[in-house]
Amino acid sequence: MSTSSSSVGSLSRYRADFPGLQPEVNGEPLAYLDSGATAQRPSAVLDVERRFLETTNAAVHRGAHTLAALATEAYEEARETVARFVGARSSDEIVWTSNATDALNLVAYGMGNATLGRGGPEASRFVLAPGDEILVTEAEHHANLVPWQELAARTGATFRYVPVHDDGTWSIDDAAAALTDRTRVFAFAHVSNVTGHVAPVAELAELAHGVGALVVLDACQSAPHRALDLVGLGVDFAAFSAHKMLGPTGIGVLWGREELLDALPPFRTGGSMITTVTMESSSFLPSPARFEAGTQPVSQSIALAEAVRYLERVGLEAIDEHEARLGQRLVDELGALPGVRVVGPASGVARAGLASFDVAGVHAHDVGQFLDAQGIAVRVGHHCAQPLHRRLGLTATTRASTYLYSTDDEIDRLVQGVSEVRAYFGAE
């Protein structure tokens, strides 16, 4: 039964579903505040994948035997489940990848292959030339930055970015000022993995389409936490990873408009993605098969579908509310500590349920180790966003990120721990 209309506090009852939250760490109850990197998995997801491997494990789309047929059915049902979850028009708009980074590379390298003349006339919409522009933001994760730098280098296009403000955020006005009639791609994150800034996706997509640009959305920090309607948002491609949304590692998702996926040249080639192969040439299947060369992540896709069903049972509205409240607590209470700087939107401004912060005089890695000794798991480093940290005048930050199973007690423990850091390291 969905609990999306129930009180936010009721989400704490779901903690018992997560075996990874139960052990003690360094003699203390685990406070897992690193879900922005990798989420814990509920027993239901672990059980579904194990059951498939024990009873139905077989190659998909290849065998004529019963086990292969059952595996193929479960595999494609998983695709349908994920398609419904993100508002896809059909399951053919869902491509399995190894992770979100792989999905973003698929689009970038596919466009590069189109520029090299692969894909035929229908791929002409992806061709880039000197003078064309690829636009990202200064806040991007490296996965949504480096592939576009590489595409610019391969094609002669100009790589540009929307600059961020002193708090690490950017606005729709900043994007409008950076978009030009030469912009061919605008790639940005729905939610920043460092600042928690939430981009106004639909408005940005409309702006970008107004100059003829394709819109590529990094949905890694939004798909696990809030309801998505990718068609309604107006983007052209979107990428996200299973391991951030209660699912397994080794599988990601590329969503794309069906007509665009069918026109985009493939990134990887080999078995399972072809129609005819001769010693002289090969022809390729339509999407999604054309992008799924080789052996597929079958058990992982089935586990991801169960993770989606679990999220739907809990209710994305309730999850979003819960995390937004915890995110505001992080900003307010960490920001009130002497010597602590929280980056990202100010208190009261909408943000995701995460906060990255700097403790004056103490390196982020030392902060993380101090907290870990108390059983508090956080992320430290540049979070695969070096340009953003450089713009903020920082080499690293400590990040606390929440999920549906996070509690107020964990926030209390974190704030108390951070309040002791500077004295412990003699930085006061």
Residues marked as catalytic:
384
Residues 6 or more apart whose Cβ sits within 8 Å of residue 330? 342, 353, 354, 355, 400, 402, 411, 414
> How many other CB atoms are found less than 10 A from the CB of residue 339?
15
- The reply to whether omega before 288 is within 30° of 0 (cis) is yes
> At a CB cut-off of 8 Å and minimum separation 6, what does 137 contact?
161, 162, 164, 170, 175, 188, 189
CB 385 within 8 A of CB 139: yes
Q: Are 315 and 4 in contact (CB under 8 A)?
A: yes
Identify the DSSP state of 344: S
Query: How many Å apart are CA 301 and CA 297, to the nearest integer?
Result: 6
Q: Under a CB-based contact definition with an 8 Å cutoff, are residues 307 and 242 in contact?
A: yes
| Residue of 46, 12, 31 lying closest to 246 (CA atoms) | 46
Separation of alpha carbons 392 and 408, rounded Å: 29
- Backbone φ and ψ for 256, nearest 5 degrees, come out as -150, 155
- Tokens 């990848």 correspond to 97
Cα angle 348, 406, 382 (rounded to 5 degrees) comes to 70
Q: What is the DSSP letter of 277?
A: E
